[in-house]
Every structure is written in structure tokens, then in C-alpha cells.
Structure 1
Amino acid sequence: MVIHSVCAGRGGGVISIPQPNKLSAFNSAIPTSILFPRKKNSSLFPCPLQYHSKNVSLCVKNQYLTPQDQNHEQQKFTPYDSRFPSQPAGQFPPRVYVGYSVYKGKAALTVEPRPPEFSPLDSGAFKLSKEGYVLLQFAPASGVRQYDWSRKQVFSLSVTEIGHIISLGASNSCEFFHDPNKGKSDEGRVRKVLKVEPLPDSSGHFFNLSVQNKITNVDEKIYIPITKAEFAVLVSSFNFVLPYLLGWHTFANSIKPEDANRLNSTNPRSSDFEWTR
């Protein structure tokens, strides 16, 4: 690594500029003799630089740093707003698992988000290949405050199905049907039906999951009442996580002000905007 030091004569200070890998405003391929000519009769500078009628001389120094010094210099320019300051370089940040659980007398329900998936393009960009979803896990009770998670049944809510649940009123209901093997040779052998219905006294909703699996000879029905307060927590969580399941946060984080005009001018779809017609 090379450090360029610019110093001024007559007691002036020294400014150190780290040399990046690519050429920039601080790292030019132009010889220093052209940038800072030492002769007063240079054609680029017809007259010497003056400061209060006194000549000022400039010089450029190159300092080669050892790997240890490079690490020290890099630490100087490390941003203080790093999200994971203790994470070793080159490693991904640790995964974080979150969820919401409801425990009742006959069953338990856990709700966990699953992130979207992206596929790389030849241009180096990424495209959403699979939307995220919310995983519901139902476990029947095996005793007082005990649940048999070995018999759990799962149901994945798509973003559209999440939208249905969010829009439910106190007296509304919805029903979803899933066949995990749809389009395969085992199509129709596994049937999952999730019903979300209002409680008789309008104090909440029933989440009723029915699973018929002819492959493993399973016929399970698990239902759990969800109070208004618990349903409000679910709706609030769904509203918050929905844009993330669509990958919109990744797009928002990738926007750079200096690239916005360039991307819009080179994107052929930019002509689809209403105000350009």
C-alpha cells in the first residue's frame, strides 16, 4: 500500500492520502513533476505560487506500508456506524431468528418469517427469484402446558395469503388450500387446508389446520383460538414484514444518489413511467 503525503514549506502541515486500488482524484497516473513542477519557469505554472509575497514549495512523498501498517490505516477509515463491528472481515453477519408464539390448552402455534431468495444476473446485479413467506407451525398438546412438537404440522403463508389475513374484519373468514406436491407425481396425496374463522363470541379467530397425508398415513386436525390482542399482534407483524418478504428493503438499500440518474437513463423500462408518456 502507498501513502501519498503532501507537505507545504515554511512550517506547513502534512496531509496523508491512502492510495486506493483504482485510480481516483487522490491517485493520479500523471507524473508528480507535471502536477507540482519544481522550476519556476514551468510552462504549466508561468509564475510561482505565492503566499503573502513569499514563495511556497510543495513536495509529494510516497510511503510504502507493511501489512501491519495497512491494517492500522484501514482502521482509521472504518465507519463508526458499522452494524456488526465485531464481525470478522469476509464473514456474513450472524443469522437472527425471531417469531411469535401462542400457547393454548389444546395446541400451540408459532409464527416465523422466512426471507426471500435472490439469483445473480450476468450484469452482477441480483433479481428476486422467490418471495419470502411466513411459516405457521401447529403442535397438539400432550399434557398440561406440554406440546408434542414431533407431531407438528406446518403451513406456509404466501404474501397474498398474508394480505387476506391482514384484511380480515372481526366477522370475516378465509380459507387456504395447499398441495405441496402439485405438479409432481405425488400430486393430490397431501392436502392441507387452513381456515381462519371468527370465534362465536367475536372475541377473536380460530386457526384451524387440517392435514391429510396419504404418503405417511397422517390425518391430523389442529385448531387453536386466537384472541383479539393476539390477532392484532399477528396483523401488526405481518404489516411490518410484508415489504421485506417481497425484497423491497434490499432494493431500497441498494439505491445510491449518484447512480439514480444513470440507472434511470440506461433502464429501458424507464419509458414505462406515467409522467414520461
Structure 2
Amino acid sequence: MTHLPPQAVLRSSHQPPSLFFPPNLLRSHTSIPKTLTLTLNKKTKLYVSCRHSDYFEQQRVAPRAKEERSFAVQSPATQPTRVYAGYSIYKGKAALSVEPKPPEFAPLDSGAFKVSKEGFVLLQFAPAVVARQYDWNRKQVFSLSVGEIGTLIGLGAKDGCEFFHDPFKGKSEEGKIRKVLKVEPLPDSTGHFFNLNVQNRLLNVDESIYIPIARAELIVMNSIFNFILPYLLGWHAFADNIKAEDSIRSNFTSTRSGPELEWGR
């Protein structure tokens, strides 16, 4: 029989109780018997630490954490994916698709960036093969610049406009491709006709596609144009890089002259 001193402490952590012996006891015994009888006086206290609560807490939290990780992986905001957006109008003889194209940026020696090419809105016209079926392989495209978008936004119910494009203007192939987009009011003033005529001598193509756009549809297009214009100009990138501390510092430290002084008076 081996008697343990009152200092012996009994601990448990998901395993059968283990005994921790004082160093003097370990030095006095070369081996520990297989069977021990523990005799303690009445004042001896046994300390048992149990971590079952931690275990169950982990089991409860783990599924929720797994769900949150799964949601984070699937969230578009956390993925470096590209997003495509557009607006399409389908009529009896043609379909019209409207898609924005972002601006291009060029790096400067200072490490900053500037807009090297403004964005635009791409109009795609597809002729109908039969009712409600369109041949997108024969589509014709027309790129609306920022200025041309402004012209469309300003059209009244009885106003019209015309845009002419030559992709090779100023080059040796000038005149081989001509694109004319006419926007004219409908006779009853309920919308506008969009008529795109394309003459391509390189491919021996001469095609005209027209589609009526109702007033409500034109209102939707104008709303889209108003929203996307600052992005086509790159102003969103500028706004995202404005820092409050930089603005405050420049107000106190910069010495302005010329036109900038107008806003400092």
C-alpha cells in the first residue's frame, strides 16, 4: 500500500484521472505500483478540472462558423470575379442590347493613375429571324461616347438626333466602314425609332436595322445613362481615393493661386 501526501492533486481532461506526484515521492520510488490505494485525511481537497463545457461549446459554434465560411466563399463581394450588366429590348423585327464598357487607366511616373480612355456604352442591334427569335451572329454594334449619351438624355418627346462613326477616320482605310445611328420620334410621340445603318466595304455588308423604343423604355435607358456617366469618366476611382486627412492637410498647408483661389475667398 502506498500513501500519497495531502498535496497530491487529481485532475481530469477527457481522460481517466491521472496522479501528479511530488518530486520527493518520485525520487523515493523507482517504480509506481499497478494498484494504488489512496488514503487522505478529512482536510485534503481534491481538485478536478473538466473541459467538457469547452468541448460542447466548440461543437455548437463549429457548424455556425462553417456556414459563415461557406457564405463568405460564395459572396460576390469577396470574389475577384467580373460582373456583367446590361439592358435589352426585344421587338418584332429586332432586338437592342445596351452594355457599359469601363474606362481605361494609365500609370504615371508618380505612381498615380489617370484616365487614358473614357468608357462608353455599347449598343448591339440584332435582326429578327422569325417572331421573337434573333440572329446575334448578324448583330451590328455602335459605341456611344459620353457626349453622345448626353445628347440622348436631353432628347424631348419630339426631338431627334443623328450620330456618324468611321472607325478608320484619319487612317488609310477611312471611309471603308460607315455607321450612322438615327434617333427619330415616333409619329404619335410615344417613343423613338432607333435606326442603325452600317456600310462595310471590307466585308461587303450594307445593312439597316431599326427598332421602336417606347417612352418608358427610353426613360429606363436615360436613367441607366445618368447613373453610369461618372463611372465612364473614372470619377468613381477618384472618389474612392479621396482621404479626409489629405483634404484637411491641403487646406491648411497649401498656398493656392490662380483659379483655385476662387473657392478660398
Other-structure match for 2:218: 231
Other-structure match for 2:156: 169
The one-letter code matched in structure 1 to 2:159 is N
Q: CA deviation at 1:92?
A: 7.2
**Partners of 1:254 and 1:159 in 2: how far apart?**
23
The one-letter code matched in structure 1 to 2:150 is G
The one-letter code matched in structure 2 to 1:275 is W
Q: 1:123 to 1:225 in 2, by over 3 A?
A: same
Other-structure match for 1:152: 139
* Structure 1 runs (4+) greater than 4 angstroms displaced: 262-271
Identify unmatched segments of 5+ residues in structure 2: 1-70
Q: 1:86 to 1:272 in 2, by over 3 A?
A: farther
**Partners of 1:173 and 1:134 in 2: how far apart?**
19
Other-structure match for 1:178: 165
**Partners of 1:270 and 1:199 in 2: how far apart?**
53
Other-structure match for 1:275: 263
Other-structure match for 2:18: none
Structure with the higher fraction of residues in helix conformation: 2
**Partners of 1:217 and 1:268 in 2: how far apart?**
62
Structure with the higher fraction of residues in strand conformation: 1
SS at match of 1:112: strand
When the two chains are superposed, the root-mean-square deviation of aligned CA atoms in Å is 2.3
Q: Point out the more displaced range, 261-270 or 200-209.
A: 261-270
Q: 1:267 to 1:102 in 2, by over 3 A?
A: farther
Q: 1:186 to 1:268 in 2, by over 3 A?
A: farther
**Partners of 2:202 and 2:100 in 1: how far apart?**
28
The one-letter code matched in structure 1 to 2:238 is F
**Partners of 1:99 and 1:142 in 2: how far apart?**
22
Q: CA deviation at 1:249?
A: 0.9
Other-structure match for 2:65: none
TM-score by length of 1: 0.65
Q: Is the 8 A contact 2:106 2:113 kept in 1?
A: yes
Q: 1:202 to 1:258 in 2, by over 3 A?
A: same
1:117 paired to 2:99: no
Q: CA deviation at 1:106?
A: 0.5
**Partners of 1:265 and 1:244 in 2: how far apart?**
31
Q: Is the 8 A contact 1:107 1:140 kept in 2?
A: yes
What whole-Å deviation, never above 9, does each CA across 1:120-153 have from its counterpart, x for those lacking one?
A: 1111111011111000000000112111111100
Q: How does 1:195-214 map to 2 (within 5 A)?
A: 195-214=182-201
2:178 to 160, 170, 191: 191
Q: 1:113 to 1:164 in 2, by over 3 A?
A: same
**Partners of 2:253 and 2:119 in 1: how far apart?**
29
Q: 1:151 to 1:221 in 2, by over 3 A?
A: same
Q: 1:154 to 1:271 in 2, by over 3 A?
A: same
1:135 paired to 2:130: no
Identify unmatched segments of 5+ residues in structure 1: 1-83
